[in-house]
Structure 1
Amino acid sequence: MKQRYKVLQLQPDYNIKQHDFADLAEQIFKALPAERFDTTMAFLKGKPGPGQPVSRADRSVYFEFSDKALKGMRLKASWQLFQFCRREKFDVVICNRFKPVNMLLQLNRWLKIPLCIGISHGFGEYDRFYRRRQAQRLIGPAWQFVGVSPAVKQYLLDCKCGFTDANTHGITNAIDIEQAEALQLDRAEARQRLGLAQDARLIGALGRLVPVKGHTYLIQAFAALKDKYPDAQLAIIGAGREQARLQAEIERLGLDGRAHLLGFRENALQYVRAFDVWTMPSLAEGLGLALLEGMSGHLPVIASDVPAMLPLIEGAGGLAVKPADVASLTAALDSYLALDDQALRAKGEQAFEYLNHHHDIEVFRQKYLKLIESGLSAAKESK
């Protein structure tokens, strides 16, 4: 039997979910035929507790480095990672996010792994001059890079520090639509479990309660329309450090009973059909998987026109708004709330059709498989 290629994916944190419909790393491993690839998932921090899920990889490794060990020069952590990779002799290492990429850029000077793939999930990773200078010095022929949207790919190219058209690719995130739909509760049950009114027009959002997600502007925009649409309500699924401040804003604007902070919900996608309109008022995003999740629930979408999301919003027939602009967000909400149920559902079906045609999970998997196969072939030819 032909020896299998050994593939390592390196993650900054343990983050495996019960369902992998939107897990980029797990979906990449699903793309690799088991008879040709031996897979390992490694996490720099964290490990699963009792009953928590593990990766679908052939094996998982938990380094359990502390926050302190991963700051600064990271000498001890880098040495352990170096020893591990040297012992295992991987053919491919896929690095998710900046820290794993940065560590492997340095270590592969000695490891000489044939193919390394660095995946960037957002903007800003190479804004600092010393990071660009380091990348310029360390990026070599073994490296390929992926931006999770065309905008992130362009960000990398614009850094002009070793990212080129030849080694940098845009592979847009996707979700397993069939799996996502199977997880979703019907409208009535989802509302019941969330404690929301069955007869309300519901505006929904999903995301951490942090400033960059723009929830405060969504609450303010909804407040401007509360009297015009007395049957409308707003609900946000997510937890975070902004919760107390957002709750105070709800109370200040007289939205008690109309705007709801629902907190963290396990497998939040199951509740998406509770809503009539899906919003994502972020100030910045690498792609915005929550936007795709809303589309998978056949919902019309409103989202900020940041570079990573604008093509998605326009393709889905949604409404793009200016980030941190309450007036723009108010006008978009007003436009959808004014529609009758049939017209609103038609908008949701348009978004779902776009999702099916442009964010198919099988296309995503095949692009990664092709990238890995071509990279290994190029490495073999260069020997």
Structure 2
Amino acid sequence: MKIAYILPSLINKGPIIVAHTIVKNIIDKVEDIHVYYFDDDLVLKFPCPTFKLDMNTAIDFDDYDIIHTHGLRPDRYVNRWRKGIKTAKTVSTIHADIAQDFRFGYNKLVSIIFTPLWLSLMNKHDAVVVISDKLRSLYDVKFKNLHRIYNGVDIELNESQVDLKYVNEIKKFKKRDLKIVGSYAALNKRKGIDQIVNLLSVRKDLAMVFIGEGKEVEVLKNLSKTIGVFDRVLFLPYLTKPYNYIHLFDVYVMPSRSEGFGLALVEAALTKTPIVCSNIDVFKEIFNDSQVTFFDLEDTDSLGLAISEAILSKDTKRIKAYERVVESFSGKTMGENYFDFYIKLVKGINFGDK
């Protein structure tokens, strides 16, 4: 079997990490894998040949059995050249609630215009994959060949592979006897980090460390100055393998307003750090109350209570969360599921359970 992955870039973000993990876990099972990308942000090194794409130049699609896209531009690219695809099977993975993603990342108007356009592009694929039952219920009526495959995570945990400059900055909070609440993401309003900043105004015992970049960083810095908590927040830049810093946190918090899955949440569980997360459906699909502590969105009191509970119950919940991830959300498991999916797609076998 020969597979081509078409990606927006090779940068270290959710959908690209997922594609990288699939490739890493199936490359020994197939004849050939090639990865194509548009942007020059070379961060993740794939264990296979990678090629930069031009929207105006077609690849030899039928040199592959499977063409797997991740993202809007890859779907546009395949659609542009679809008439030239004779034998290859095309598939796209939906990584989030598209309408909400556009709304939080841009605005409501962009969401209204581009969501149906993107869905129409994906409807032309031979199959579409979603990454949670929540997304499956959302898109089940929109696609004739929909399949759910949970994301899987592999991390190379090494707590010594950190920048001591940043470690020392984080430890300054510990010297002040503050409990450290940490998180990381490609930041936008959807991630809900403003809820943590607002909590600091009433919880003088807490400090926040955020790793990552995005247009909301300056907004949150200004918010922290306005409400007088700037001396208890630390914004670090994009860091490779940010999970290697999680051991410095007392609690990992993922206060998202919407998510397709929550890769960082699973990574945090693999570090055996206590977790607090918003009570959105997809997080409840991954974990239960015995593994993490949930809080009510937009409820500062609920968030504060959840953080306190997570600290007190850390010795039981964090181990159960770790065991849950190892059992159900490993990169190996995801790779096996995609490999089986590809075989059925090529052979035209019915997937059975949608």
Could you state the TM-score of these two structures normalised by the residue count of structure 2?
A: 0.83
Q: Specify the alignment match of 1:40 in structure 2.
A: 34
Q: Secondary structure at the match of 1:13?
A: coil
> Whole-Å Cα distance in 1 between the matches of residues 266 and 171 of structure 2?
24
Deviation at 1:23, TM superposition (A): 1.9
Q: How many residues align?
A: 336
Residues 315 and 25 from structure 1, CA distance in 2 versus in 1: closer, same or farther, beyond 3 angstroms? farther
Q: Specify the alignment match of 2:126 in structure 1.
A: 143
Q: Which residue identity lines up with residue 60 of structure 2 in the other structure? A: C
Deviation at 1:101, TM superposition (A): 2.5
Instruction: Trace 1:1-383 onto structure 2 (pairs within 5 A).
Output: 5-15=1-11, 23-34=17-28, 36-46=30-40, 48=42, 54-57=45-48, 59-63=49-53, 65=54, 77=55, 79-81=56-58, 84-86=59-61, 89-105=63-79, 107-124=81-98, 132=116, 139=123, 143-157=126-140, 160-161=141-142, 163-164=143-144, 167-176=145-154, 179-181=155-157, 183-185=158-160, 191-192=167-168, 194-198=170-174, 200-226=178-204, 230=205, 232-314=206-288, 317-337=291-311, 339=312, 343-378=313-348
Residues 251 and 193 from structure 1, CA distance in 2 versus in 1: closer, same or farther, beyond 3 angstroms? closer
Residues 369 and 225 from structure 1, CA distance in 2 versus in 1: closer, same or farther, beyond 3 angstroms? same
Deviation at 1:280, TM superposition (A): 0.7
> Whole-Å Cα distance in 2 between the matches of residues 317 and 278 of structure 1?
13
Residues 53 and 356 from structure 1, CA distance in 2 versus in 1: closer, same or farther, beyond 3 angstroms? closer
> Whole-Å Cα distance in 1 between the matches of residues 12 and 207 of structure 2?
32
Q: Which residue identity lines up with residue 233 of structure 1 in the other structure? A: A
Unaligned runs of 5+ in 2: 103-110, 350-354
> Whole-Å Cα distance in 2 between the matches of residues 186 and 46 of structure 1?
25
Deviation at 1:218, TM superposition (A): 1.0
Report if aligned partners of 1:12, 1:96 keep a CA contact under 8 Å in 2: yes
1:241-285 CA deviation, whole Å, 9 max, x = no partner? 222332232233332432322333332121011111110111111
1:114-147 CA deviation, whole Å, 9 max, x = no partner? 321111111126975886588569846x712111
> Whole-Å Cα distance in 2 between the matches of residues 312 and 54 of structure 1?
28
Report if aligned partners of 1:95, 1:119 keep a CA contact under 8 Å in 2: yes
Q: Specify the alignment match of 1:74 in structure 2.
A: none
Deviation at 1:211, TM superposition (A): 1.5
1:328-376 CA deviation, whole Å, 9 max, x = no partner? 2223223335x2xxx4233222221221122122111100110111112
Q: Which residue identity lines up with residue 23 of structure 1 in the other structure? A: I
Q: Specify the alignment match of 1:72 in structure 2.
A: none
| Rg (Cα) greater in structure | 1
Deviates more, 1:238-247 or 1:216-225: 238-247
Q: Which residue identity lines up with residue 46 of structure 1 in the other structure? A: D
Q: Which residue identity lines up with residue 297 of structure 1 in the other structure? A: T
Report if aligned partners of 1:105, 1:139 keep a CA contact under 8 Å in 2: no
Report if aligned partners of 1:206, 1:236 keep a CA contact under 8 Å in 2: yes
Q: Specify the alignment match of 2:108 in structure 1.
A: none
> Whole-Å Cα distance in 1 between the matches of residues 2 and 66 of structure 2?
6
> Whole-Å Cα distance in 2 between the matches of residues 123 and 248 of structure 1?
29
Report if aligned partners of 2:212, 2:237 keep a CA contact under 8 Å in 1: yes
Q: Secondary structure at the match of 1:224?
A: coil
Report if aligned partners of 1:47, 1:62 keep a CA contact under 8 Å in 2: no
Residues 138 and 306 from structure 1, CA distance in 2 versus in 1: closer, same or farther, beyond 3 angstroms? closer
> Whole-Å Cα distance in 2 between the matches of residues 138 and 203 of structure 1?
39
1:304-324 CA deviation, whole Å, 9 max, x = no partner? 222322222426621222333
Deviation at 1:377, TM superposition (A): 1.8
Report if aligned partners of 1:92, 1:113 keep a CA contact under 8 Å in 2: no
> Whole-Å Cα distance in 2 between the matches of residues 42 and 197 of structure 1?
43
Deviation at 1:212, TM superposition (A): 1.5
Residues 324 and 208 from structure 1, CA distance in 2 versus in 1: closer, same or farther, beyond 3 angstroms? farther
Residues 291 and 207 from structure 1, CA distance in 2 versus in 1: closer, same or farther, beyond 3 angstroms? same
Deviates more, 1:308-317 or 1:298-307: 308-317
Report if aligned partners of 2:292, 2:310 keep a CA contact under 8 Å in 1: no
- Percent of matched pairs sharing the same residue: 17
> Whole-Å Cα distance in 2 between the matches of residues 363 and 138 of structure 1?
25
